[in-house]
Amino acid sequence: MSQTTQHTRVERDSMGEMQVPVDAYYGASTQRAALNFPISTLRFPREFIRALGQIKQSAALVNAGLGNIDQKIADAIVQASQEVIDGKLDNHFVLDIFQTGSGTSTNMNANEVIANRANELLGGSRGSRKVHPNDHVNFGQSSNDVIPSAIHLAALVTIEEKLMPALLGLQQALSSRAEEFMPIIKTGRTHLQDATPIRLGQEFDGYAGQIERGILRLNHAQSELSEVALGGTAVGTGVNTHPLFATRVCERLANINGVDVHETGNHFQAQSTLDNVVEASGSLNTIAVSLMKIANDIRWLASGPRAGIGELELPAVQPGSSIMPGKVNPVIAESVCMVCAQVIGNHTTITVGGQAGNFEINVMMPVVAYNLLQSINLLAAAARNFTEQCIKGLKATTRGPEMVERGLAICTSLAPVIGYDAAADISKLAHKTGRTIREVAREKTNLSEEELTRILNPESMTTPGLEGGPAGG
């Protein structure tokens, strides 16, 4: 290192010298990338930087154990990597998401930051290269296997720590509401039109079932992400790495995170594609679709309160209008829908990114990483907020049960008794005259009041079988 000024120092890489901010832990390669890609304000999130730090730390420990690097150098790398893991050096990860498609710039950003911090820990200066970013920190690795592995690891851990607990909490809250609302019988709806009676609790049981299956899909996403590319190096052949390196690194990553992490059985697919990530994103996409359906249903069921459906009462979390006093809007559900729209859009970006696996390397890894982790974090936050600020505070009104007797679709239970056509005529006449099905049936059939009460019992229509409509009468 030479030519240090008050504001910069000179660092070198394979292309020559670069002026680097004097206080920066990164070096010449990172500085080049910072100048090359002034595209956006988007940066890799904390979860990704933490995963990178864990990979570099585990690699140093394994390489020292295999005799690949000096123990003192490894110890310094381990300590510097821990500072990366803990977020103490986040300000030195400065690169744009829209950069080299393999993420090489960010891999070198990590290598340089850790190497320079390790140099300091050994009593040297930044840029002294006693600890070398390539020869030591990156030993046995390539950007081509490190970056996809960091994507998998970051997503895997974020799902485990944030999204899974949020969805479990939402499922439990919906199940609780389903149990509470089970006695309430209301009009079902298909095609936005009145249908046969249903219990409000049954509707909520359906919502809980959606989230339950979303959790199963999330388990599948985790299984996809647990397979990592480490050990394949440049093109999947494993050149310049010890045969035991990847297995031992994966074992350590699994132990410190409490999740399954294992070396892929086919490095050529693992490095030339992001198929696992696209599949995992598909699970997130489906969860977003489920959440949007639930949030929209709750918005509609709470619409009104007088001129809408009005079968639910939302928690009043904030004023709904700057001009209409007393208005309460379904703002929590609306925020969920916006998150879902973002996640669905992210999946499109990830899908396009996934197809950019040209020969032996994918060249859209940074943007895929950003969108995948954003989706996980957004879904986790939205599900948690939806649970606490909406689902737990929902109340059923009397509107649903009051409208059951006036519903036209309860004539369905008459069909097995008097025939479909006759039941349809009763429904049409009831609709035209504004009377109830019971009132018209009393006039148009020979059924007794006792038989009508039994046949048109809405409670019996909420269970499977023929009890809702006897075969004779």
Q: Tell me which residue has tokens 């990553």.
A: 253
Rg (CA), the chain: 30
347 is annotated as an active-site residue: no
DSSP 339-382: HHHHHHHHHHHHHHHHT-EETTEES-HHHHHHHHHHHHHHHHHH
Contact, 263 vs 253, CB < 8 A? no
Cis preceding linkage at 305, omega within 30 = yes
Other Cβ atoms within 10 Å of 462 Cβ, number: 18
| Distance between CA atoms of residues 314 and 331, nearest Å | 10
321 noted as active-site residue:
yes
Beta bridge partners of 17: 12
Among 66, 82, 93, CA closest to 121: 82
- Tokens representing residue 212 in the block: 């339950």
Per-position DSSP letters for 247-259, written without gaps between them: HHHHHHHHHHHTS
| Residue 322 main-chain phi, psi, to 5 deg | -85, -10
Out of 321, 335, 375, 448, which one is annotated catalytic? 321
User: How far is it, in rounded angstroms, from Cα 407 to Cα 186?
Assistant: 9
Q: Which of 2, 7, 14, 191 is catalytic?
A: 191
Cβ burial of 331 (10 Å; 0-12, 13-18, 19+) is middle
Active-site residue numbers? 191, 321
